[in-house]
Amino acid sequence: MDKNELQKVMEYFNSRRSIRKFEDREIESNLLNTILECAMKAPTCGNMQLYSVVITRDADRKAKLSELHFNQPACGAPVLLTICADFNRFTRWCEISDADAAYNNFLSFTSAFADAIIYAQQVTTIAELHGLGTCYLGTAIYNAPEIAGLLKLPQLVMPVACIAIGWPAEEGVPTERLPLRAVIHEEEYRVDGDEEILELFKEKEDYAPNRQYVIDNNKKNLAQVFAEVRYPRNLNEPFSAKLIDWLSPTFLR
């Protein structure tokens, strides 16, 4: 890759945005398959490739998925890709091959979860480099049992993310990010003081849409919007309990 090509790639990463409005235009199967196949070069745990993707184009099924994703605007995309942590396929291969498959446990779940998330990011990047728009929906884990039922996922397969994908009908909105110092730790984890933590989140607090969220929700600061409105205890704990109950017979051992 020469310097000009590298610069274009870096510009893409520095300017990428999530897209939530899409043209009423299909994605050709050949293009989608190319993206999904290229993404399979992503690194995985032991090269086991512990992921699967369910492609949803059907309008009725998309509508049902949209409800399970809390009717987020991005669900109007022509295609929804449900990325799954999948130890079913590998386990069946072992069993057919007379190999002792001990993968119905929490360690194996975390391996499959990591594989699936890495694959999802690879799909997102490759799709956007082809001119498509994407939006990552993390709500797949909130209603994982219901999504699994809708998509007929077998045991040892769990939806971990959904990618809305289509031809963009908007430029998307730029979002703020924490400064690099917030996530970099040299040699050992650095525990910041209270004032330093507040400084790390200052750009988020000062971001105009976030300031408006604080006003609209009658809160003192952005942290209260996140903790008490967007992701509050009275939602986190029930959804967490539901997920644990669902995973317990297979993965949580």
Q: How far apart are CA 75 and CA 137, in angstroms?
A: 9
How far, rounded to the nearest angstrom, does the alpha carbon of residue 129 sit from its chain's CA centroid? 18
- Determine, yes or no, domain membership for 72: yes
Structural domain count, the chain: 1
State the pLDDT at residue 2. Answer: 84
- Determine, yes or no, domain membership for 73: yes
Domain CATH for 26: 3.40.109.10
- Determine, yes or no, domain membership for 229: no
Residue 253 confidence (pLDDT) above 70: no
- Determine, yes or no, domain membership for 207: no
- Determine, yes or no, domain membership for 150: yes
Q: What is the pLDDT of residues 198-244, one digit of tens each?
A: 999 999 999 999 999 999 999 999 999 999 999 999 999 999 999 99
Residue 58 confidence (pLDDT) above 70: yes
- Determine, yes or no, domain membership for 63: yes
Question: Sheet holding 157-166: strands in order across?
Answer: 51-56, 79-86, 157-166, 133-137
Confidence tier at 5 by pLDDT (50, 70, 90): confident
Please give the residue range of the domain that contains residue 70: 17-172
Q: What is the pLDDT of residues 179-203, one digit of tens each?
A: 999 999 999 999 999 999 999 999 9
Helix (H) or strand (E) holding 7: helix 3-15
Q: How far apart are CA 42 and CA 49, in angstroms?
A: 9
Q: What percent of the chain has pLDDT over 90?
A: 89
Burial track 161-186 (b if 16+ CB lie within 10 A, e otherwise): bbbbbbbbeeebeeeeeeeeeeeeee
- Determine, yes or no, domain membership for 221: no
Across the range 121-139, mean pLDDT stands at 96
Torsion of CA 19, 20, 24, 28, to 10 degrees: 50
Task: Kindly give the pairing relationship between strand 133-137 and strand 51-56.
Answer: unpaired
- Determine, yes or no, domain membership for 151: yes
How far, rounded to the nearest angstrom, does the alpha carbon of residue 134 sit from its chain's CA centroid? 11
Cβ contact 141:243 at 8 Å: yes
